[in-house]
Copies of this chain bind each other. A is one copy, B any other.
Amino acid sequence: MTVLSEEQVLQIHEASMTILEDIGIRWLDEEALDLWAQAGAKVDRTQKHVWLDRGLVMELIANAPSSFTWRARNPRHNLHIGGNAVSFVAAAGMVNVNDLSRGRRVGTAADYAEILKLGQMCDLIHMGAMGGVGLHDVPVSQQHLQRELLAYTLTDKAIWTFIHGRTITTDVLNMIRLVFDGDITNGGPVIGGVVNVNSPLVYDGRMLGGLITMARAGQVVMVTPFVLAGAMSPVTMAAAAAQQNAEALAGVALTQLVRPGAPVLYGAFLTNADMKTGGPAFGSPEAALAIAMGAQMARFYRLPHRGNGAVTSSNIADAQAAYESVWTLWPAVLSHTNVLIHAAGWAEDGLTFSYEKFVIDVENLGMMRRFLQGVEVNTETLALDSIAEVGPGGHHFGTAHTLARFQTAHYAPLVTDHHNYGTWLAAGAPDTRQRAHSIWKQWLQDYEAPPLDAGTNEALQDYVARRSRELAASQLYEDA
């Protein structure tokens, strides 16, 4: 699906080049400024302001791979990133968790562990989303260590994590090296992280420390401006897309300056601000257009694309949550978004991980997988013999053709209920949330940890113990 004409793509490209050349971007990191200066860009060290020539930017991004393999601890879960492949990732970066039995509360390490387990249980969640929720019961200086430890032990899928500054990111890399016996680049990267932009047009030091450290290690950077049109960019979607494009390309270019060929994704997270409340409007029609625009621009530059699915402004897993999520999922998948973050569990503008919504979203991911399989048309599936056998009138419930196929012919629903009103009423009239509740509980009950080498586990534990002592009392989130 495309929403921009070729001419419009070029117009947005041209506008972005003008932004990079004439307006420029602020980079709040000395090493980033050094790198740009060495590359010959015009740099104002005092204002930390850099103007990038289009020739330099295009030359740099041409080095980025258009596809790569993102390796998982279990090679069965390796992911191909690029082309038409779509990978689904659970919601991440939430402050709270919410479920029907325990209510809404600030997230803890135990909640985070549950989110990892849910992701591990679902074959439709292709990546272990690290940091599903904050570990607010763990001291700040140790949160990243516990976060990594839980992820490496509870899931064997490909993982992404938070790469906030050099200290945290170095710990992340040290730990993942233990998991992969030191080899984190041969055959593809093994970990990645999102680098957001402080839109408009600012990369902060914490993000740049992470970007530079990850790119240098050959790991995945998902450069993602987060833009609310009307707040962090002009209110018109064309301007927002042009600014986002300039911001994304600048970050992608920096990864290639650090390490040519480093795996990187062109990320986009653009929607409109609700001009009445000032808050974000997730799942809006403008967001649907923005999703398609982001994917189209990424493809124009032959870069793999990171987008979003199943985001909503709704505070509960109700009708609004569902329609806003599908309004995100459809354009994202139809535009061939390669890594679809926040594909399950996102609620409340991204503040809260909803267990019930996780199940509801997974249902929609399953439906999307079935939809993408399309229709098989051949002599067997056209079944003219069977149509002739039943003839006019009659029904097909009992034919040999039906009996041989009825169990697998159609998508088998997860939380969707096809019972009629009477049967549903007799079952207590459960709404979608209530049905979802019992499903995630069952998943947690059925969860089994994937095997992990005892030596690796010990090495990870030792590392976490040592670094926890060293980092005690440091305020890592203040520190780039």
Contacts and interface: CB of A to CB of B under 8 A. Distances in A.
A364 B410 CA distance: 27
A392 interface: yes
Given A23-B388, A402-B235, A409-B275, A323 B326 contact: yes
Given A18-B384, A284-B410, A322-B320, A395 B231 contact: yes
Interface in A305-332: 313-327, 330
Contacts of A272: 409-410
A262 interface: no
B330 A413 contact: no
A276 interface: yes
A236 interface: yes
A106 interface: no
B371 A289 contact: yes
A285 B406 CA distance: 16
A75 interface: no
B238 A382 contact: yes
A320 B416 contact: yes
Given A370-B285, A420-B349, A234 B402 contact: yes
B409 A235 contact: yes
Most chain B C-beta atoms within 10 Å of own C-beta, residue among A8, A276, A320, A367: A320
A243 interface: yes
A286 to B, nearest CB: 5
A139 to B, nearest CB: 26
Given A238-B381, A313-B418, A232 B410 contact: no
A431 B316 contact: yes
Contact of A383 (B236, B278, B319): B236
B326 A327 contact: yes
Given A315-B421, A418-B274, A392 B15 contact: no
Given A319-B433, A396-B233, A416-B313, A286 B411 contact: yes
A204 to B, nearest CB: 10
> Which 5 A-B pairs have CB atoms at the shortest separation, nearest pair first?
A322-B322, A201-B392, A26-B392, A319-B432, A285-B370
Interface of A: 1, 3-4, 8, 11-12, 15, 18-19, 22-26, 49, 104, 198, 200-202, 229-239, 241-243, 272, 274-281, 283-286, 288-289, 293, 313-327, 330, 334, 348-349, 351-352, 357, 360, 363-364, 367-368, 370-371, 374-378, 380-384, 386-388, 390-397, 399, 401-402, 405-407, 409-411, 413, 415-421, 423-425, 429, 431-433
16 contacts: A3-B374, A23-B384, A200-B390, A200-B394, A201-B392, A230-B396, A230-B397, A235-B406, A238-B375, A238-B376, A272-B409, A279-B419, A318-B318, A323-B323, A326-B330, A327-B364
